[in-house]
Amino acid sequence: MPDDAEARFTKKGRTPKERILRHQADEHFITICRFLDTNTRTCTVYDARPGICREFPGQGRCGYYDFLSFERRTQDDPDWIATTD
């Protein structure tokens, strides 16, 4: 089962042993984490998130989620979505 999850949710990185989380298309940022809900802009797997997300704030952290959380607090708007326009 871990091999199935690895094949479905990751892709090869720069080195043979490196695995990278797959992304999905996004209207605001060209691509985003595949686990981010594009409507609510929240993580859909938070309780079962991958190790790289749990190791946050280590290398490979989700900068988008940090940015979005900060901006929503700063804007005092829980639905605020950043755009690149």
The tens digit of pLDDT for each residue in 47-58 reads: 887 777 777 665
**pLDDT for res 51:** 76
Residue 85 domain-assigned (yes or no): no
Residue 29 domain-assigned (yes or no): yes
Pairing of strands 31-33, 23-25: antiparallel
Q: What angle do CA 66, 83, 78 make, to 5 degrees?
A: 55
Residue 27 domain-assigned (yes or no): yes
Residue 48 domain-assigned (yes or no): yes
**pLDDT for res 83:** 62
**pLDDT for res 4:** 83
pLDDT at 85 over 70: no
Residue 83 domain-assigned (yes or no): no
pLDDT at 61 over 60: no
Residue 81 domain-assigned (yes or no): no
Residue 63 domain-assigned (yes or no): yes
Domain count, the chain: 1
| Higher-scoring residue by pLDDT: 49, 73 | 73
Report yes or no on whether pTM surpasses 0.85: no
Q: Residue 18: helix, strand or coil by DSSP?
A: coil
Residue 40 domain-assigned (yes or no): yes
Residue 17 sits in which domain range?
2-75
**pLDDT for res 84:** 54
